[in-house]
Each structure stands twice: as structure tokens, then as C-alpha cells.
Amino acid sequence: MKRVVTSEALPLYLWVDDLEDEAMEQAKNLANLPFAFHHVALMADAHVGYGMPIGGVLATENAVIPNGVGVDIGCGMRAVRTGLQELSLEQLKTIHHQLKRVVPLGFKHHRRPKALDLMPELADTDSAADLPVVSDEFERARRQLGTLGGGNHFMEIQQGSDGFIWLMVHSGSRNLGYQVAKFYNKLAARLAGQERTRLIPAKWQLDFLLLDSAEGQRYLREMTYCTEFAQANRREMMRVMQEVVVGVSGCGSFDPAIDVAHNYAAMERHFGREVCVHRKGATRAAAGEYGIIPGSQGTSSFIVRGLGNPDSFASCSHGAGRVMGRKAAQRQLDLAEELRKLEDLNIVHGMRRRTDLDEAPGAYKDIDQVMANQQDLVSIEVELQPLAVVKG
């Protein structure tokens, strides 16, 4: 790690060396939570978020924090190695065009709901009581399955250092996860407001639910369903990507997918205790476990193996991490310069306007430095260079 901060109730372990003041303040808030456990870990891509820094890892005892997971519950990565060793520029352009046509982007959904068997299975219980938000959103979610969304979500075709073409998808739980997160964050705030003396200042945006409460257990169930839905969403998009690639290239083989989430909470054992580990923009990196760390649309991504470092709660970064906010990128970055970066690398992309600069390479940290800062967390298996990128 880069350094340890010991000024708070619990220490902060940092793998990042360029953390904004606001993100550091958020991390210190985490370290002073009465139910926080052992220490707080900040990954190499950490930056400011809502309540908790993105790229943060927090373990708690008998508490779960909706803002410690975030609004895109289960957001993550899926990567597949193809049997191809190359694609021509014309093939890449054709695949890029077809993906934009067949996969709904941004706020768009499918016109017809997806088949029920593509959705995560509901438990044999009274789902309206056990999963109230999921039950209410279920039919709308069927039309969101297999859709990319916006922001930093993407589909990408990559050239691997292993000599093969790879496919990658970054997406989450769409409006389903957002509605669950919003509902339980408001519930946690309302319950906190009913206490005579708040345990946590409201301005921290870290209202919590007790794990031994009915509300806390309902959140865990709904969060888990959203995580499963996010994985199903990526699975369906990857299926479509593979169909498009087969149609254009005749590719006949695909390896099993690697799929990892980076926004969730889970019960795990660390430092001799069963605790609730919140990973908000962080990927689990248990010893020998495959992971995916994407860069920006103009830089490398990486297939990695975890080293199981206990000081990071067996976690690593979820990407490069932002170096500036979306509005700041649109104001400050030079469109011609950012386009030149992509065109010099012959990357097929969709960046055209100043409003697209929020996802320009210059809006992100140096992925090579991010990887250098976490050599004690993961080992690099394959480096992936972008060939064609579809952004949400």
C-alpha cells in the first residue's frame, strides 16, 4: 500500500496517492463509524462518491449502508476470450455499428419484455413481502435486461497480449438497482431521524440499517437480487455481442466468461470475524480469483488474478478511476486532443461532441500507475488493448 492514516478512530489503508480532499474526508467519516471494523481500505482508483468514496472497501459489524453499495447495485464487468486472433478495421466498424443497433443504450429499453427464464429466479416465498421493490419493478426490469445504460458503461472489443481477441461488457442493474438503492437509503435516513440522538451526522450520507432488523434483511435480499440481475444483464449483452461477432467474422469458439461485480455488500470472514464487507467501486481479489480491471476507452484493460491481501479485505480497484468529474471534463478537456488520442490508436469509437468528453481518456487516471500501485493486490494475466468501443 502507499500509506496509512492513523488520525481517526480506525486507520485508513491507502493504495492511492492522488486522493481529493473531499474523498479523504469521506474516508475519515467511514473510519469514525461506530460499527466500522478494523480499518478502511481505499483502492488505487479511489475518488469521491456519495457518502463513501468510489474505490472504497468498508467492513461493518451488524450494519449495512445502502450508500456503501451505491445506486448501481451489482455493476460489474464480463469478459470473454474469443477464438479469433485478429479483426480487420472494416469488421470492427461493422461490429460497432451492429452493436449500437441491437443493444439499447442510455435510457433506452427493449420494446418487449425478455423471457422469464432469463431473469434471476425469485425465491419460493411471498416475494411482495420479501422483495417489495423488486416485485414492483420486476416487469419493467424484464425490458431492461440486455441493455447497456449510460455513464461509464461500455461494450468493447480488445486485442489481448495473449494473441486473442477479447469481448468485454461493463454494466449494472439499471433502474431496478437504482430504485432499490433509493428506497432503502430513504428508509435508513427515516429510521435514523426517529432516533433521539443520531449516531451519525446526516451530512455524512451514511445512514445504515441493522443486519439483525427486518429492514436490514430485506435490503440484503433485494440487493442480492439486483446483483444477480446485473450479472444476467451482462450475460445477455455478451450473448448478443458473440452473435454479432460470429455473424461478421465466423468466429467458432468462445472461452467461458469471467464475470465480477464491484458494487455490493457481502458477509465475509476477515481478521477472525464475520463482517459485512461493502465494496463500492472495488472488486474482490481473493487468492487465485480472476478479476477484470478496465481502463478508459483509450487505454489498456487487464485480466488479473487476486493475491488475497488481507489488508485490502482481499480487494482491488475496479478500474482506472476518475481524475475529474463529468461536468469538469466537458468544460476543461480539448475535444480535438481527446479525439486524436483515440484516432492515433485506430480505435473505433463514438465520441463526437463536447458532451461526450465526460468519458474521454483524459477524464481518467493513468491506468498504468493504478496498476503499479496495487502490485500487492493482483497479478496481471492478460493486458487488453481497445479496438472498438461502444459507450452508453
| Spatial separation of the C-alpha atoms in residues 353 and 316, rounded to whole Å | 33
| Spatial separation of the C-alpha atoms in residues 5 and 23, rounded to whole Å | 14
Q: In 3-state terms, what secondary structure has residue 390? A: strand
| Spatial separation of the C-alpha atoms in residues 54 and 355, rounded to whole Å | 23
| Spatial separation of the C-alpha atoms in residues 284 and 295, rounded to whole Å | 17
Concatenated DSSP letters for 262-306? -EEEEEEEETTEEEEEEEESEEE--TT-EEEE---TTS-EEEEEE
3-state secondary structure labels for all residues of 104-155: CCCCCCCCCCCCHHHCCCCCCCCHHHHCHHHHHHHHHHHHHCCCCCCCCCEE
Q: Which of 37, 158, 44, 33 shows the shortest CA–CA distance to 95?
A: 158
Q: Are 361 and 297 in contact (CB under 8 A)?
A: yes
| Spatial separation of the C-alpha atoms in residues 63 and 69, rounded to whole Å | 13
| Spatial separation of the C-alpha atoms in residues 365 and 158, rounded to whole Å | 20
The single residue listed with the C-alpha cell 492511492 is: 16
Q: Are 51 and 40 in contact (CB under 8 A)?
A: no
Catalytic entry in 109, 170, 318, 349: 318
For residue 158, list its beta bridge partners: 166, 386
In the residue annotation, 270 being an active-site residue is answered as: no
Maximum distance among all Cα pairs of the chain, rounded to whole angstroms? 66
Helix (H) / strand (E) element for 59: namely strand 54-60
Give the β-pairing of 54-60 and 76-81.
unpaired
Amino acid at residue number 202 = A
Catalytically active residues, by annotation? 318
